[in-house]
Structure 1
Amino acid sequence: MTPIESRLDPASAAFATQRSGMAALIEQMQVLERRASDASERARPAFAKRGALLPRERLARLLDPGSPYLALAKLAGYGMDDPDHATSIPGGSLLAGIGFVSGVRCMVVVTDSGIDAGAMTEGGNLKMMRCQEIALENRLPFVHLVESAGANLRKYRVDKFIRGGAIFYNLARLSAAGLPVITVVHGSSTAGGAYMPGLSDYVVMVRQRARAFLAGPPLLKAATGEIATDEELGGADMHGGISGLAEYLAEDDEHAIAMARDVMASLDWADAGVPAAQPARPPRLDADELLGVMTLDIKRPVDMVEVIGRLVDDSAWLPFKPDYGPATVCGHARIEGHAVGFITNNGPIDPAGATKAAQFIQACNQSGTPIVFLQNTTGFIVGRASEEAGMIKHGSKMIQALSNSKVPQITLYCGASYGAGNFGMCGRGFRPRFCFSWPNARTAVMGGEQAAMTLEIVARQQAERKGAAVDEARLAQQTAEIVANFERQASAFVTSGLLLDDGVIDPRDTRAVLAFVLATAREAQARALRPVQFGVARF
């Protein structure tokens, strides 16, 4: 290669004229950009009154300090919604660019709600769709900070409405492509905007501020006559504990953004084949205490978060949808630097818990995060109420997600493993990569006493239909035999002897065992194989 020899004369009059003209254009561009920031800044008193951060402050807190950031389409919408170039505010009421969040290169979009309450504009729609296309093409996670009044009904245009549907189409494509979509709802996210969090993989909502509904109170009253407050209809607490739209609830803007950064960090996003484990940090809680965490009486409840806190790095834990189906515990953590998703049980698996677990399994598959199942369950909840709530179909979702999961799955029997709960929590029949038991673990289709009582009820009903007397002595003997049979087979030593796990381990060794098998799984994933048509023949 030959170096280029410049022929430009910086001392010439032509060069000076061109430089001056370019400087003027740059200044004009900066003036237009400042027009948007100044317009947003004028909303500061209103934001301060409600204790909220301005959009540019939200963006600054989201991005890694001192990291590179490439702003995109800063002049989008200029002269579009407002054809008067003298007053038109550019940017499409969106801040967008490529930057780093928790060390991960991401596409970031922030609604500039300081301008017209973040109402969606034609320029903003086009900007959003372009950002989504860039994210798809360049394989970038998509982080969206939302606060929007929805479409501007005063400037309604049917073509803008129809073309805007591509925003939601693209969100679905991003998720399906394996690119995480993380949304923080700081304020309103109404009508079509409600599908922003609805089509996201992880949603953070700010308490007392976030609102998400297809029809707000005025439209609801106009359409149906129903009267409801903003909070009742689509507040953060409702979506966190009832609808399940929100995975995480934050107390304010700062907290919400910190949670979004935690979510991104927990996904351990990295190029294939590149070691992604962070430096290991020991748990703050004493692993020796694992010996006293679990009760030997399976009827007594145990908070499995206490177990997690003695296994994971720095005892740090990011719960997933903690208020929705709370008896099924899901969340992110690290073990010896390895990102891990945990699923465990603080009670039977109910419809909400099964739905949450199914979503979490899919989310872990999207990010390639291994899943550790800590079994301590009496099974799927039973009863008329749960059947009416769709326990069968929701439990089936969990089974479907589990059965088709592609990430490494590691199962640890910590306590009870009863009924279909064994299946839903990735028991041996669901082919976990590794499976271990603690010595106190108990496994059975149901408790021996339950089984005996069930058969006793059947026997009494049969006798009643036949008009025969019940042989109480024989029934008592049957009960004793059934209980003994169940108890004999439930022991971890028996199940391990039948190779229903990969070994019984000391609870205090759990962290070391999990770290070892996680490292083994990571090595396997990074190793490139070269399949051939035939096995190599021995000559």
Structure 2
Amino acid sequence: MTRLATTLDPRGPEHLAHREAALERLAALADEHAKALAGGGPKYTERHRARGKLLARERVELLLDPDTPFLELSPLAAWGSDYPVGASMVTGIGTVEGVECVVVANDPTVRGGASNPWTLKKALRANEIALANRLPVISLVESGGADLPSQKEIFIPGGAIFRDLTRLSAAGIPTVAVVFGNSTAGGAYIPGMSDHTVMIKDRSKVFLGGPPLVKMATGEESDDESLGGADMHARTSGLADHYAVDEQDAIRQARRIVARLNHRKPYPDPGPAPEPLYDPEELLGIVPSDLRTPFDPREVVARIVDASDFDEFKPLYGTSLVTGWAALHGYPVGILANAQGVLFSEESQKAAQFIQLANQRDIPLLFLHNTTGYMVGKEYEQGGIVKHGSMMINAVSNSRVPHLSVLIGASYGAGHYGMCGRAYEPRFLFAWPSAKSAVMGPQQLAGVLSIVARQSAAAKGQPYDEEQDAGMRAFVEAQIESESLPMFLSGRIYDDGVIDPRDTRTVLGLCLSAVHNAPVEGARGGFGVFRM
């Protein structure tokens, strides 16, 4: 085997300083995750419990097989917005009766589980993951429908939730709805459009219009139970496929539904895989606090792949991009990892060829981001950086094998695109707390604006205000810095979560297992025109 050596000194002052900074970022991240776990806070949590109901994460825990992991997705959704962190919804991937499923659970302690714009984005991302990876979807429903004050941002795009359920079903991907409380107005279509629906005696309420709306629209007097109770839907309308006596019974029945799905992965799971040779704790000290300081991504690779075994591709060519083959939890992967930040023409061509090879061999690709973008300057423009960068982006765009992306350092400019950023539809994208992503670095962006302003003033024959320039640069740098941080980006669901670097191997292993629920097939040709 070609095992990676390490030059890392875990007791060295630089490593210890980087580790300390990483632990501080992780502590801040834990504080934000705690806000999502708190849901609507103690008042509404206790009110919910007083009604004899389980919390959203308790429902998820009971649904999943004992002692199996749950890969929570987008836990920081809505961070930095006017809505609570977590977006009043829990989404993730877990195992139910041995079947990997996407689980979507409304959090009724946050405004009754009403959907705000970020809830919608989070739910749509979960459906996208389910469809791409052919994962059954289990919806744990308790929601008052749309958050009415923000209906203008929800109503039009919100129909995609129901569209997705029907498309999943049409693709042969099972959908299950368990209704724990309200599922009203447009929300009634979640159980209505799911393949299997479980309702709970005296708890579930599914109707398009409640008693007040029916009274206003038709003059008819009615009540919740006759309009949409579980007993009515189980005996009269036929909407309920399964009738449960309480929440635990409903979850038990949902597990039995999954057990009878006959849903099978197209590939056998790999057997036990050897652990990396090096301690994953050391991942905390690899990435410098100042991302302008280079580091060797092989040190990261050595701590996440099986047996630290890595066959490098073109090691002497395009050296600021490391490419090579490995296995991770027994699954083959091709890895592209930025070494020194900047991508040149050689790196771009190397990446394009490597991506084609992965597609020929049906091997998923893992992108480890630490790039400031493609190189600029007269020499590089004349050398063809535009056409070579375009070649790499073309290859990424038209590659058909699953892509996984992890932002471990910088991810700026078109380099973010070439390394399969969110717009290029990686199956999963996660970030370390050390990551930053924007159109360019804060200093560079502020500097560009300053140069443009100076040139404009000179063209008009006006004096340039240096004091105002300094203030503008400081303001812009602070704004771009804050908007490039992982919690800001994760709040907008530009990634699937900010993860502890020490969990990277586990998270990627869960993702690789999930993607192998769908056929892994590369593009055979089908790439756009490569400018040579």
What TM-score, normalized to structure 1?
Answer: 0.48
What TM-score, normalized to structure 2?
Answer: 0.48
Bigger radius of gyration: 1
